[in-house]
Amino acid sequence: MIGFQSVLKLVVKCIVGALVATLVSASANAIDWQDSPAIAALFAKADLQGTFVIYDVSANTYTGFNRSRAETRFIPASTFKLPNSLIGLATGAVNSVDEIFPWDGKPRWMKSWEKDMDLREAIKLSAVPVYQEVARRVGLQRMQQNVSKIGYGNSEIGTVIDDFWLDGSLRISAVEQTGFLSKLAQGTLPFPNAVQASVRDIARLEQGSDWTLYGKTGWSTREQPIGWWVGWVEKNGRYYAFALNIDMPEQADAAKRIEIGKASLLALGVLN
Protein backbone atom coordinates (compact mmCIF):
# COMPACT_ATOMS: atom_id res chain seq x y z
CA MET A 1 0.00 0.00 0.00
CA ILE A 2 2.82 2.39 0.87
CA GLY A 3 4.51 1.63 -2.43
CA PHE A 4 1.29 2.36 -4.31
CA GLN A 5 0.84 5.70 -2.52
CA SER A 6 4.40 6.69 -3.36
CA VAL A 7 3.87 5.86 -7.02
CA LEU A 8 0.56 7.75 -6.99
CA LYS A 9 2.21 10.83 -5.51
CA LEU A 10 4.94 10.66 -8.15
CA VAL A 11 2.38 10.39 -10.94
CA VAL A 12 0.40 13.34 -9.59
CA LYS A 13 3.61 15.39 -9.26
CA CYS A 14 4.55 14.62 -12.86
CA ILE A 15 1.07 15.57 -14.10
CA VAL A 16 1.13 18.85 -12.19
CA GLY A 17 4.62 19.61 -13.48
CA ALA A 18 3.53 18.92 -17.05
CA LEU A 19 0.50 21.17 -16.65
CA VAL A 20 2.63 24.00 -15.26
CA ALA A 21 5.12 23.64 -18.12
CA THR A 22 2.25 23.70 -20.62
CA LEU A 23 0.76 26.82 -19.06
CA VAL A 24 4.13 28.59 -19.06
CA SER A 25 4.71 27.65 -22.68
CA ALA A 26 1.20 28.77 -23.65
CA SER A 27 1.74 32.08 -21.87
CA ALA A 28 5.01 32.66 -23.70
CA ASN A 29 3.39 31.86 -27.05
CA ALA A 30 0.38 34.09 -26.33
CA ILE A 31 2.22 37.34 -27.03
CA ASP A 32 1.13 39.34 -30.07
CA TRP A 33 4.31 39.14 -32.20
CA GLN A 34 4.93 40.59 -35.63
CA ASP A 35 8.09 39.86 -37.63
CA SER A 36 9.80 42.92 -39.08
CA PRO A 37 11.34 42.43 -42.56
CA ALA A 38 13.13 45.78 -42.15
CA ILE A 39 14.96 44.64 -39.02
CA ALA A 40 15.72 41.26 -40.59
CA ALA A 41 17.35 43.12 -43.48
CA LEU A 42 19.45 45.19 -41.07
CA PHE A 43 20.79 42.06 -39.35
CA ALA A 44 21.48 40.40 -42.71
CA LYS A 45 23.35 43.45 -44.02
CA ALA A 46 25.43 43.64 -40.84
CA ASP A 47 26.04 39.87 -40.99
CA LEU A 48 25.06 39.53 -37.32
CA GLN A 49 23.49 36.62 -35.49
CA GLY A 50 21.05 37.90 -32.90
CA THR A 51 17.62 39.25 -32.13
CA PHE A 52 15.78 42.51 -31.60
CA VAL A 53 12.36 42.97 -30.04
CA ILE A 54 10.37 46.07 -29.19
CA TYR A 55 7.31 46.06 -26.95
CA ASP A 56 4.70 48.74 -27.60
CA VAL A 57 3.20 49.06 -24.12
CA SER A 58 0.00 50.88 -25.18
CA ALA A 59 -0.78 48.44 -27.98
CA ASN A 60 0.53 45.40 -26.03
CA THR A 61 2.31 44.19 -29.16
CA TYR A 62 5.80 42.93 -29.94
CA THR A 63 7.68 43.59 -33.17
CA GLY A 64 11.07 42.21 -34.00
CA PHE A 65 13.44 39.77 -35.58
CA ASN A 66 14.19 36.14 -34.63
CA ARG A 67 11.40 35.42 -32.17
CA SER A 68 12.88 32.08 -31.14
CA ARG A 69 16.06 33.76 -29.94
CA ALA A 70 14.08 36.62 -28.40
CA GLU A 71 12.40 34.07 -26.13
CA THR A 72 15.68 32.31 -25.29
CA ARG A 73 17.29 33.13 -21.95
CA PHE A 74 20.88 34.30 -21.71
CA ILE A 75 23.01 35.62 -18.86
CA PRO A 76 22.11 39.31 -18.39
CA ALA A 77 25.68 40.60 -17.83
CA SER A 78 25.77 44.35 -17.23
CA THR A 79 22.13 44.91 -18.15
CA PHE A 80 21.57 43.71 -14.56
CA LYS A 81 23.00 47.04 -13.39
CA LEU A 82 19.47 48.43 -13.79
CA PRO A 83 17.78 46.06 -11.30
CA ASN A 84 20.93 46.12 -9.15
CA SER A 85 20.58 49.90 -8.88
CA LEU A 86 16.90 49.61 -7.99
CA ILE A 87 17.50 46.98 -5.34
CA GLY A 88 20.49 48.78 -3.87
CA LEU A 89 18.50 51.98 -3.47
CA ALA A 90 15.26 50.34 -2.34
CA THR A 91 16.98 48.35 0.42
CA GLY A 92 19.01 51.31 1.64
CA ALA A 93 22.29 49.60 0.71
CA VAL A 94 22.98 52.71 -1.36
CA ASN A 95 21.94 56.12 -0.05
CA SER A 96 21.39 57.74 -3.43
CA VAL A 97 22.67 57.65 -7.00
CA ASP A 98 25.08 60.41 -5.93
CA GLU A 99 26.76 58.43 -3.14
CA ILE A 100 30.47 58.10 -3.88
CA PHE A 101 32.04 54.64 -4.06
CA PRO A 102 35.77 55.07 -3.37
CA TRP A 103 38.33 53.32 -5.55
CA ASP A 104 40.55 51.02 -3.48
CA GLY A 105 43.64 51.84 -5.53
CA LYS A 106 43.86 48.39 -7.13
CA PRO A 107 44.25 47.95 -10.90
CA ARG A 108 40.98 47.50 -12.78
CA TRP A 109 40.13 45.73 -16.01
CA MET A 110 39.45 49.17 -17.49
CA LYS A 111 41.52 52.25 -16.61
CA SER A 112 38.35 54.36 -16.59
CA TRP A 113 37.19 52.40 -13.51
CA GLU A 114 40.24 53.45 -11.48
CA LYS A 115 38.66 56.37 -9.64
CA ASP A 116 35.97 57.25 -7.11
CA MET A 117 32.52 57.42 -8.69
CA ASP A 118 28.80 57.46 -7.97
CA LEU A 119 26.13 55.34 -9.65
CA ARG A 120 25.51 58.01 -12.26
CA GLU A 121 29.02 57.56 -13.60
CA ALA A 122 29.33 53.86 -12.73
CA ILE A 123 26.37 52.88 -14.89
CA LYS A 124 27.67 54.94 -17.83
CA LEU A 125 31.12 53.34 -17.53
CA SER A 126 29.59 49.94 -16.70
CA ALA A 127 31.94 49.77 -13.72
CA VAL A 128 31.72 46.19 -12.49
CA PRO A 129 33.57 46.72 -9.16
CA VAL A 130 31.10 49.41 -8.06
CA TYR A 131 28.11 47.20 -8.76
CA GLN A 132 29.76 44.23 -7.09
CA GLU A 133 30.02 46.38 -3.98
CA VAL A 134 26.33 47.30 -4.31
CA ALA A 135 25.42 43.61 -4.45
CA ARG A 136 27.60 42.76 -1.44
CA ARG A 137 25.93 45.50 0.57
CA VAL A 138 22.49 44.19 -0.37
CA GLY A 139 23.43 40.64 0.59
CA LEU A 140 22.33 37.30 -0.79
CA GLN A 141 19.00 37.00 1.03
CA ARG A 142 17.68 40.46 0.20
CA MET A 143 18.95 40.22 -3.36
CA GLN A 144 17.17 36.91 -3.93
CA GLN A 145 13.96 38.25 -2.41
CA ASN A 146 13.96 41.29 -4.65
CA VAL A 147 14.98 39.51 -7.85
CA SER A 148 12.14 37.06 -7.25
CA LYS A 149 9.73 39.88 -6.40
CA ILE A 150 10.20 41.53 -9.79
CA GLY A 151 10.16 38.20 -11.64
CA TYR A 152 13.48 38.88 -13.35
CA GLY A 153 14.09 36.07 -15.85
CA ASN A 154 14.52 32.74 -14.08
CA SER A 155 15.21 34.61 -10.79
CA GLU A 156 18.03 32.19 -9.90
CA ILE A 157 20.97 34.06 -8.36
CA GLY A 158 22.74 31.09 -6.80
CA THR A 159 25.06 31.45 -3.80
CA VAL A 160 27.73 33.92 -4.95
CA ILE A 161 26.53 37.46 -4.39
CA ASP A 162 28.96 39.53 -6.43
CA ASP A 163 29.03 37.92 -9.86
CA PHE A 164 25.82 35.91 -10.37
CA TRP A 165 24.79 38.20 -13.25
CA LEU A 166 28.18 37.70 -14.91
CA ASP A 167 29.09 34.09 -14.22
CA GLY A 168 26.16 32.54 -12.39
CA SER A 169 22.83 30.89 -13.05
CA LEU A 170 20.72 34.01 -13.65
CA ARG A 171 19.20 34.06 -17.13
CA ILE A 172 16.71 36.33 -18.91
CA SER A 173 15.30 36.52 -22.44
CA ALA A 174 14.99 39.59 -24.62
CA VAL A 175 11.19 39.40 -24.34
CA GLU A 176 11.47 39.22 -20.54
CA GLN A 177 13.83 42.18 -20.57
CA THR A 178 11.16 44.28 -22.29
CA GLY A 179 8.62 43.27 -19.64
CA PHE A 180 10.89 44.43 -16.83
CA LEU A 181 11.91 47.60 -18.65
CA SER A 182 8.35 48.60 -19.52
CA LYS A 183 7.47 48.51 -15.82
CA LEU A 184 10.53 50.55 -14.89
CA ALA A 185 9.64 53.08 -17.60
CA GLN A 186 6.12 53.46 -16.20
CA GLY A 187 7.17 53.32 -12.54
CA THR A 188 5.05 50.24 -11.81
CA LEU A 189 7.71 48.01 -10.27
CA PRO A 190 7.30 47.11 -6.56
CA PHE A 191 9.77 49.79 -5.46
CA PRO A 192 9.28 53.35 -4.21
CA ASN A 193 8.47 55.85 -6.97
CA ALA A 194 11.50 57.96 -6.06
CA VAL A 195 13.82 54.97 -6.45
CA GLN A 196 12.45 54.14 -9.89
CA ALA A 197 12.71 57.80 -10.93
CA SER A 198 16.37 57.89 -9.85
CA VAL A 199 17.22 54.82 -11.92
CA ARG A 200 15.38 56.18 -14.94
CA ASP A 201 17.42 59.35 -14.54
CA ILE A 202 20.80 57.58 -14.62
CA ALA A 203 19.69 55.36 -17.51
CA ARG A 204 18.79 58.29 -19.76
CA LEU A 205 20.97 58.42 -22.89
CA GLU A 206 19.59 60.91 -25.42
CA GLN A 207 16.68 63.20 -26.15
CA GLY A 208 15.05 64.34 -29.36
CA SER A 209 12.26 66.78 -30.11
CA ASP A 210 9.53 64.36 -29.01
CA TRP A 211 11.37 61.34 -27.58
CA THR A 212 13.76 60.30 -24.82
CA LEU A 213 16.00 57.24 -25.08
CA TYR A 214 17.08 55.16 -22.08
CA GLY A 215 19.32 52.11 -22.12
CA LYS A 216 22.09 49.87 -20.86
CA THR A 217 24.58 47.64 -22.63
CA GLY A 218 25.97 44.31 -21.50
CA TRP A 219 28.60 41.80 -22.60
CA SER A 220 29.05 38.26 -21.39
CA THR A 221 32.03 36.13 -22.39
CA ARG A 222 30.75 33.09 -20.49
CA GLU A 223 29.39 30.12 -22.41
CA GLN A 224 28.08 31.77 -25.59
CA PRO A 225 29.63 35.27 -25.87
CA ILE A 226 26.72 37.67 -26.17
CA GLY A 227 26.30 41.41 -26.35
CA TRP A 228 23.17 43.16 -25.07
CA TRP A 229 21.57 46.56 -25.55
CA VAL A 230 18.30 47.04 -23.72
CA GLY A 231 16.18 50.05 -22.82
CA TRP A 232 13.10 51.99 -23.74
CA VAL A 233 11.92 55.04 -25.62
CA GLU A 234 9.36 57.46 -24.23
CA LYS A 235 7.68 59.22 -27.12
CA ASN A 236 4.62 61.44 -27.03
CA GLY A 237 3.41 59.83 -23.82
CA ARG A 238 3.90 56.26 -25.10
CA TYR A 239 6.49 53.70 -24.01
CA TYR A 240 8.44 51.33 -26.23
CA ALA A 241 10.68 48.86 -24.39
CA PHE A 242 13.32 47.12 -26.47
CA ALA A 243 16.00 44.47 -26.14
CA LEU A 244 18.74 43.38 -28.51
CA ASN A 245 21.31 40.66 -28.19
CA ILE A 246 23.92 39.52 -30.68
CA ASP A 247 26.74 37.01 -30.80
CA MET A 248 29.73 39.08 -29.68
CA PRO A 249 32.97 37.12 -29.33
CA GLU A 250 35.19 40.22 -29.45
CA GLN A 251 35.04 43.53 -27.58
CA ALA A 252 35.80 45.18 -30.91
CA ASP A 253 32.22 44.36 -31.92
CA ALA A 254 30.76 46.34 -28.99
CA ALA A 255 29.70 49.34 -31.06
CA LYS A 256 27.54 47.13 -33.28
CA ARG A 257 25.03 46.65 -30.45
CA ILE A 258 23.90 50.27 -30.35
CA GLU A 259 24.40 50.78 -34.08
CA ILE A 260 21.96 48.07 -35.14
CA GLY A 261 19.70 48.80 -32.18
CA LYS A 262 19.29 52.45 -33.17
CA ALA A 263 18.89 51.47 -36.82
CA SER A 264 16.07 49.13 -35.77
CA LEU A 265 14.37 51.85 -33.73
CA LEU A 266 14.67 54.24 -36.68
CA ALA A 267 13.28 51.63 -39.08
CA LEU A 268 10.21 51.23 -36.86
CA GLY A 269 9.72 55.00 -36.54
CA VAL A 270 10.27 55.01 -32.78
CA LEU A 271 13.29 57.33 -33.18
CA ASN A 272 13.51 60.04 -35.80
Active site residues: 78
CA 141 to chain centre: 21
Angle at 182 between CA 177 and CA 187, to 5 degrees: 130
Cβ-based neighbours of 249, under 8 Å, separated by 6 or more = 225
Q: What is the dihedral of CA 254, 258, 260, 261, to 10 degrees?
A: 140
Alpha helices in the chain, H assignment, sequence order: 2-29, 37-46, 67-70, 81-90, 119-125, 128-138, 140-149, 164-167, 174-186, 193-203, 255-267
Altogether, the residues listed in the chain come to a count of 272
What is the spatial distance between Cα 164 and Cα 245, in angstroms, rounded to a whole number? 19
